[in-house]
Amino acid sequence: MLQTKPPTPRSEPIPHAEGVSNEEFRAALSRLAAGVVLITAEEPPLDEHGRGEDVGMTATAFMSVSLDPPLVLVSLRNGSRMDDLLDEQPLWAVSVLGESQRHIAGRFAMKGRISDRLLFEDIPCARGEVSGAPLVGGALATLECRTEQRVPAGDHTLVIGRVVSASLPSADGGPLTYFQGRYRQLG
């Protein structure tokens, strides 16, 4: 029987099959402006006497999928805390951040960050009636979702959620956007 040897790890980036390197791909897509949202969910409680910990993640890979039924999609890095949580917790929420909420986006995007409990500490939030997840006060819009489908896609998972509630808590200001590696305002 022929045995194959596992490939040896390489230190330099492996170009995509079509010849596009990771750096070229990132540079090209950094030219695409994206809205910024905070994805939140409540971890199931450890026992029947308490609430679970709130978890949050800044996302720019978020979009509307369908009007009928109302579906949205968020892309989560495989193995991330939010990916692991949404694999077991079907209810989650989205807060569409406004231009004055850059500090929230930055806080939940940090690598090697502190506990989620401390991240939420001084951020005004309401608890979603359906999801139990935190909804950021002053967000331009909030959505509560139930996972309909998880689609593996390379090093990410696309989570498609049915919108089960939507509200417009704030009409003040414009959206927070992300362009060329920085948070921006329109105009």
Q: What average pLDDT is seen over the chain?
A: 87
| pLDDT at residue 15 greater than cutoff 60 | no
pLDDT at 134: 96
Residue 114: pLDDT band by 50, 70, 90 thresholds? low
| pLDDT cut 90: percent of the chain above it | 59
Most confident of 78-87, 143-152, 166-175: 143-152
Largest CA-CA distance found in the chain, in angstroms, rounded: 69
pLDDT tens digits, one per residue of 23-65: 888 888 787 778 999 999 999 876 676 678 899 999 999 999 9
Helix and strand numbers, DSSP H then E, in the chain? 4, 12
Q: Yes or no: say if 126 and 163 are a contact pair by the CB < 8 Å rule.
A: no
Residue 68 pLDDT > 50, yes or no? yes
How far apart are the C-alpha atoms of 92 and 134, rounded to whole Å?
9
Which class for 101: exposed (0-12), middle (13-18), buried (19 or more C-beta within 10 A)?
Answer: buried
- Whether residue 185 is predicted with pLDDT greater than 90 in this model: the reply is no
Long-range contacts of 171-176 (CB under 8 A, 24+ apart): 171/140, 172/98, 172/138, 173/98, 173/99, 173/100, 173/140, 174/98, 174/99, 175/35, 175/36, 175/96, 175/97, 175/98, 175/99, 175/140, 176/35, 176/36, 176/97, 176/98, 176/99, 176/101, 176/102, 176/105
- Tell whether omega for the bond before 45 is within 30 degrees of 0, i.e. cis: no
Rounded Cα gap, residues 30 and 32, in angstroms: 5
Beta-bridge mates of residue 143: 94, 166
Model pLDDT, residue 14 = 52
1 vs 112, higher pLDDT: 112
Q: Give the model's pLDDT for residue 10.
A: 44
